[in-house]
Amino acid sequence: MLTVFRSPKNPFISPTRSRSFEAIGAFNPSVVAHGTDVHVFYRAMAEPDNLRTPGRGFSTIGYAKSCDGGKTFGSRKQILQADETWEAFGCEDPRATFFEGKWYVFYTALGGFPFGPDNIRAAVAIGNKPDQLTERHLMTPFNAKAATLFPERINGEAVLLITAHTDFTEEYPRPTIGIARSKHIEDFWDPAFWIEWHTHLHDHAFPDVRRSDSEHMEIGASPILTNKGWLIIYSHIQKYYDAQHRIFGIEALLLDTHDPQKIISRTEFPFLVPEESYERYGLVSNIVFPTGARIVSDRLEIYYGAADTVCAMAQLSLSDLLSSMDSAERTSFVQRSQNEPIVKPIPEHAWESASVSNAAAIDLNGSVHLLYRGTDAQNHSSIGYARLADALHVDERLSEPVYEPRENFESHGTEDPRITQIDDTLYLAYTAFDGTRARGAVSWISKENFLAHTFDWSKPIAITPEDVNDKDLCIFPERINGKALLMHRIDPNICAEAFDMPPTHSTTSCTEIMGPRPGMWDAEKIGAAAPPIRVEEGWLCIYHGVGSDFTYRLGAALLDAETATTVLSRTSAPILSPELQWEKEGVVKNVIFSCGAVLRGDTLFIYYGGADTAIGVATISKKKLLEKLLPNI
């Protein structure tokens, strides 16, 4: 599991009209740490050259240097202009490597306008100093971009990564990431080398890392050697061939140390997508495009272009990233108590004969009390009860529901309960379904009567307006600024609203806390799981997310202590995904959905429904989870 943190200094380089060569764009940074300095090479965009690129910004290569370890960048200048005929219409997207005493800056050369497969090729500039590149060459006679050099020889050879045929043609409709090797680095700008290489393109290609034929990928940062292999940060673009709906993301590959054409592992999902305003709005909206990376201790810094306008940086734990790419380590982050459900349907109980799922949980008088959704053969839901003294095994389970539909707005079911104690009252927040629309509802009971199994719930109140679909309600277990805080989902966002308790009216506002992240594992919709848990660092929020694969998974977020509406951090990968057969096959396939969690000491018990059919429990160390949610880098 991993969490990505954007730099608070973003964007760290922005365009400025005081330098005409970067008047409208300064983006796609490549970074090299050398000695005590950090060097950044970036794509600088001027206003359109009306004689060469009318209506399109004109790109060259800019440079900046940091003398304080990458905190600030100065000495900005233009270091490559479009001087050669084969790059006369622009130079784009540098990837820099310091190799055997020289600086190599590979870039995209634009040799014609309008831009197309016949005039977009790879080139290289070389120099003894990073800002004095005195030699340059056109490399490929075919369409190519994103060439980047490994920083050291592998088996005695210089090794280059390149993305061939990035731009659509009938003959080459899809891109190919390939690897080129030679004992003589000069071969990389010899046309004869590339003609021979391209003749055997299939032999040099990586396995296709796209998940579907509608996707696109491009090499991003220069390779970085880790103790597990070569780390490759690359651009992964979903729905690439639908220009209106492209989703740019950042992913990673791990290559074998001695055979970099062999992929050892990869990320399951993008771990960074456009979210911040500087990523969503610019010359081209909704782009994060990685072109640089470096490691500082266990901190991996990823440098990327945002919205084709500015330079930005995000950081994460390298060890967390590598662990998330290992299937064994990834699945061991949260421990299931056992491989079987702890609560299953009982055919003899008509009200829960079809399925049980989605249990609320509260720790009272030494036992964990579950209130769970039970569904009959007609798909009508009511709420059942079970008790677990050790939080793992059921000691008591009632044969009749403890909460059933009573009002017209819940005539077809009371679903997905969450329970919260405030003072001596237990508040039950749930989804009320009338056969057409889901609404949020709240009922309450005294703690004393609940423990005595005297289930004299108050008259329920529909807490969301009649014409609004609402789900995933929960109430924070403490008043915040004197008010109870309700969390719920008004599609597509998790919202919050302050209330007096008991409530007397329906919601009138929706203060957004967080929403789906297009392209990630929680791209389609999200919702609260258990009521948030107060920890020293703020509020720990477990939530569910649904991806484009229609799979329900669990993630975690940390909210601020003062208002509980500011997201301090959020997991970039899920913490629990369907793996067992009963989580993958059932009433609804591939579902892990939680409504309850209990913290005992350092152990967080997460109760969840699997495939909308049965109930399980998983545990995780609170300390371990918070270490992932806090900047541990």
Paired residues of 409 in beta bridges: none
In 275-366, DSSP assigns E strands to 288-296, 299-306, 310-317, 335-336, 355-364
Cβ neighbour number for residue 196 with a 10 Å cutoff: 11
Tell me the residue type at 99: F
Q: Give the model's pLDDT for residue 477.
A: 96
> Does pLDDT of 632 surpass 70?
no
Q: What is the mean pLDDT of residues 90-101?
A: 97
Is residue 453 within 8 Å of 423, Cβ to Cβ? no
Helix (H) / strand (E) element for 421: namely strand 413-422
Percentages (nearest 5) of helix, strand, coil residues in the chain: 10, 45, 45
**pTM exceeding 0.75:** yes
Q: What pLDDT, in 10s, does the model give residues 415-474?
A: 999 999 999 999 999 999 999 989 999 999 999 999 999 999 999 999 988 888 889 999
Q: Give the model's pLDDT for residue 78.
A: 98
Paired residues of 154 in beta bridges: 157
Task: Give the tokens for residue 412.
Answer: 């077809």
**Residue 319 CA neighbour count, 13 Å, CB half:** 7
CA 411 to chain centre: 38
Is residue 42 within 8 Å of 64, Cβ to Cβ? yes
Q: What pLDDT, in 10s, does the model give residues 369-426?
A: 999 999 999 999 999 999 999 999 999 999 999 999 999 999 999 999 999 999 999 9
Q: What is the mean pLDDT of residues 297-308?
A: 96
Residue 507 CA to residue 485 CA, distance in Å, equals 11
Q: Give the model's pLDDT for residue 492.
A: 87
Question: Torsion angle, CA of 429/430/433/434, rounded to 10 degrees?
Answer: -30
Residue 151 CA to residue 220 CA, distance in Å, equals 15
Task: Give the tokens for residue 106.
Answer: 């590979």
Q: How confident is the model at residue 328 (pLDDT cuts 50, 70, 90)?
A: confident
Backbone angles phi, psi at 193, to 5 degrees: -60, -45
Q: Give the model's pLDDT for residue 505.
A: 79
Query: Is the C-alpha dihedral spanning 314, 315, 318, 321 positive or negative?
Result: negative
Helix (H) / strand (E) element for 602: namely none
Q: What pLDDT, in 10s, does the model give residues 569-622?
A: 999 999 999 999 999 999 999 999 999 999 999 999 999 999 999 999 999 999
Q: What is the mean pLDDT of the chain?
A: 95
Q: Give the model's pLDDT for residue 333.
A: 83
Is residue 179 within 8 Å of 206, Cβ to Cβ? yes
> Does pLDDT of 323 surpass 80?
yes
Q: What pLDDT, in 10s, does the model give residues 342-365?
A: 999 999 999 999 999 999 999 999
Is residue 274 within 8 Å of 288, Cβ to Cβ? yes
Is residue 2 within 8 Å of 321, Cβ to Cβ? yes
> Does pLDDT of 631 surpass 80?
no
Task: Give the tokens for residue 182.
Answer: 């030679």
> Does pLDDT of 128 surpass 60?
yes
Q: Give the model's pLDDT for residue 506.
A: 81
Paired residues of 226 in beta bridges: 229
- Cα–Cα nearest to 608, from 575, 631, 568: 575
Task: Give the tokens for residue 526.
Answer: 């999200």
Q: How confident is the model at residue 237 (pLDDT cuts 50, 70, 90)?
A: very high
Task: Give the tokens for residue 167.
Answer: 């731009």
Q: What pLDDT, in 10s, does the model give residues 490-533?
A: 888 999 999 888 888 788 788 899 999 999 999 999 999 999 99
Q: Give the model's pLDDT for residue 209.
A: 87
Residues 6+ apart with CB under 8 A from 309: 11, 14, 15, 24, 25, 26, 27, 278, 282, 283, 284
The vertex-105 CA angle with 100 and 108, nearest 5°, equals: 150
Cβ neighbour number for residue 319 with a 10 Å cutoff: 17
DSSP one-letter string for 373-418: EEE-TTS-EEEEEEEESSSSS-SEE-SS-SB---SGGGTTEEEEEE
CA 71 to chain centre: 25
Residue 472 CA to residue 544 CA, distance in Å, equals 10
Residues 6+ apart with CB under 8 A from 211: none
Q: How confident is the model at residue 93 (pLDDT cuts 50, 70, 90)?
A: very high
Helix (H) / strand (E) element for 196: namely helix 191-199
CA 532 to chain centre: 21
Domains, the chain, in order of start with CATH, read 13-326 (2.115.10.20), 343-629 (2.115.10.20)
**Residue 609 CA neighbour count, 13 Å, CB half:** 31
